Structure 1
Amino acid sequence: MVWVRSEYAGELAVLSTWVTALLPWNVFSGAVAGGTVLFVRFPFFQIRYAFGLPFLRAFDVSTPVSAYLLQRGTSVQPAYGLWIAGAAVYLVALAVAVYYYREEERVESWSVDPVTLLGSLLVVSAVAFLAASALFPERFFGLSLGVGGGLPGLSLPVGAVVQLLLGGVLLRAERVA
């Protein structure tokens, strides 16, 4: 079954890539030392809100690299490493999407189909984000996985699931040669 018509596949590929930049790939809420921490993670940065924790700033923004370095030696550092890998792949997808938007004829002449390329990059990045989500908390979509030594709480990989679905739709698009 084809979910997108061939003549609209390029536009959908570009739009899908741009939209997923605006969605948080992971939202995590957890209880810590009598307070609550909320992480909203986007591909290239995370926003942290801390409520009732005097030893943490109430609001903080960090990059995947700075968060990875901050977590050096902890059990959640591999999750941040997967986030960096997913963000790197997503950065390539974003660059291809911008170039595709600006130079459609050139990109359409590539030996690889740009829609398939963007779909593949979105899927690979989403899988990295989903794996990172599974390693962050003890609860993932409300289920205890017993992996990761992160904070007890609830993790919802909202944007990662949407990104995976959009990448899958792009991979299923039939293109007319």
Structure 2
Amino acid sequence: MTWVRTEYAGALAVVSTWLAAFVPWNITYSAGVSGGAVLFVRFPFVQIRYAFGVPVARRVAVSDPVSATAFQAGQSIQVAYQTWAAGAGVLAVAVVVATVYYRYEDAVESGPVDPVWLLGGLLGLSGVVLGVATYLLATRGFPGVPVPVGVVLLVILGGVLLTVDRE
């Protein structure tokens, strides 16, 4: 069973990829013993940290995956941040492919690889990698419960695009 009509598959692939770049893959709320709390909203290419009632922290801090990984150097969760950076890299490739596909649709569709399936595979792969990052955050001592909002969306969108009948 196919979920998407063939003539709309390309547009869905491009829009899905662009949407995936703006949906947070992970949201974590962590309440501390000192009465403060921190909310992490992790988008594929940026992390926003909101601190509530934590006197030593800036209220809002923004970082990219590479600088966030460097900040966690030597910590038990560094590998989770490295995995996030890898997932962001896969999604960055997908965004570039989607942009080229949008701009040069006929040329890309006449190429050796079906761009819809390629984007589906890249979205699915980034979802799996970011899912592993979520698992690592949860099991490496990071306080709070990470909710993999975008991970689920990435895997679903990837699966939908991979099941499109492109004959």
Report the TM-score range of the alignment, normalised by the length of the smaller protein.
over 0.9
The question of 1:165 aligning with 2:166 is answered no
Q: Matched residue pairs, number?
A: 166
| 5+ long unaligned stretches in structure 1 | 138-146
Q: Aligned equivalents of 1:16 and 1:119: distance in 2?
A: 9
Q: Distance in 2 between matches of 1:72 and 1:63?
A: 14
Q: CA deviation at 1:16?
A: 0.4
Q: What is the TM-score normalised by the length of structure 1?
A: 0.92
Question: Residues 23-62 of structure 1: matches in 2 within 5 Å?
Answer: 23-34=23-34, 35-62=36-63
| CA deviation after TM superposition for structure 1 residue 135, in Å | 1.3
Question: Which runs of 4 or more aligned residues in structure 1 lie more than 4 Å from their structure 2 counterparts after TM superposition?
Answer: none
Q: 1:92 corresponds to which residue?
A: 93
Cα distance per residue 1:122-154 (max 9 Å; x no partner):
0111111111111113xxxxxxxxx21211x12
Match of 1:148 among 137, 140, 154: 140
Amino acid at match of 1:44: F
Instruction: Calculate the TM-score normalised by the size of structure 2.
Output: 0.97
For 2:18, the aligned partner's letter is W
Amino acid in the other structure paired with 1:63? D
Check the 8 A contact 1:33/1:53 in 2, yes or no: no
State the identity as a percent. 55
Deviations 1:89-141 (A, max 9, x none): 0000000000000000010011010000000000111111111111113xxxx
Cα distance in 2 for residues equivalent to 1:18 and 1:127: 18
Letter in 1 for 2:5: R
Indicate the RMSD between aligned Cα atoms, in angstroms. 0.8
